[in-house]
Amino acid sequence: MAESIYPPSIGFIGLGAMGYPMCSQLRQKLPVTTPLYIFDVNAAALTRFTIEHANSGPITVCSSAREVGEAADTIISIVPEGTHVEAVYLSASGLLRVSNLAGKTLIDSSTIGVSTSTSVSSFIPAGTRFLDAPVSGGPMGAEKGTLTFMVGAAEDAFFTARLRPLLMLMGNNIFACGGPGCGLAAKLCNNYLSGLIAVATSESMNLGMRSGLDPAVLHAIFKTSTAQNWVSDSCNPVPGVCPEAPPSRGYEGGFRVEFMRKDFQLAVEAAEQVGARLELGEAGLRVYTAASRDERFRGRDSRVVYKWLGGRDPTVAEGGKEAEM
């Protein structure tokens, strides 16, 4: 029998907005005999996952990150912030309390500061692989299995033969970015640019609509002109322009505005650390900070900055009252 290209067992820590669909992709696509060990602080998410995937293969709910690490050969984690990553790895019930870490692979897909990841990696014992591998594509990409992975590793034999096939179960673009921390550096650069594009798109759509332009016409112009970008094409901030995107669903789902503020701040801090000049960084950070602190917009998709700017909802009849957020 041919050797499987996948690890003999998988652990997954963090079943949030991104982690849940990523873990779902794994359970659905891994060999039905591959054991999957899961943990999250939200017990309801664990229960829902086991019910939804009861017929996809063996699933074991664990009581801690340490328990996942004891059982699984390869462990993937994705949690919101650096303090959560430190808890997953360094706490009394964390992965680094596992007695048999040698030979295991630890993949952290959280978006955190490079310095935090480097600090955690300094505690990883010899013989254990630790990789920063943040993702881009948002919950929609996670649900479709089309994420981009940015991995802080060289494109060596292990990456090509073992890591890439596993990550391809959850994404369709897997990049070896170099050494430790380079995956996170790439992700922060990506989210800095994406965040600025979302603000610029929101401002441009608002300007055009207030000047009498039909948002659908403006959207079509952007799509075929020099202003073309993914945000406008696929997740336009104006409700109704992209019917399947979060802005057309009350900005529900998607990449929450407070997470964009967090990533944007990390990018600005990273620029300070390496001496990179940012002319737009502080302005962008002010926008996301203000929008994320506004109770009308907190918890909404980050393209809600369009509403924070005073953009109107064209799906509401003239003179009608727009829905409260």
- In sequence order, the β-bridge partners of residue 140 are none
187 is catalytic: yes
279-286: long-range contacts, CB 8 A cutoff, minimum separation 24: 280/196, 281/192, 284/192, 284/195, 284/196, 284/199, 285/261
User: What are the start and end residues of each CATH 1.10.1040.10 domain in the chain?
Assistant: 185-308
Q: What is the mean pLDDT of residues 239-253?
A: 96
| CATH of span 185-308 | 1.10.1040.10
Ramachandran assignment for 110, one of left (phi > 0), alpha (psi -120 to 50 degrees), beta (any other): beta
Q: Of 187, 223, 262, 307, which is the active-site residue?
A: 187
CATH classification for the domain delimited by 10-179, as one of 3.20.20.70, 3.40.50.720, 3.10.20.310, 2.90.10.10: 3.40.50.720
12-50 pLDDT, tens digit each: 999 999 999 999 999 999 999 999 999 999 999 999 999
90-141 pLDDT, tens digit each: 999 999 999 889 999 999 999 999 999 999 999 999 999 999 999 999 888 9
User: What are the start and end residues of each CATH 3.40.50.720 domain in the chain?
Assistant: 10-179
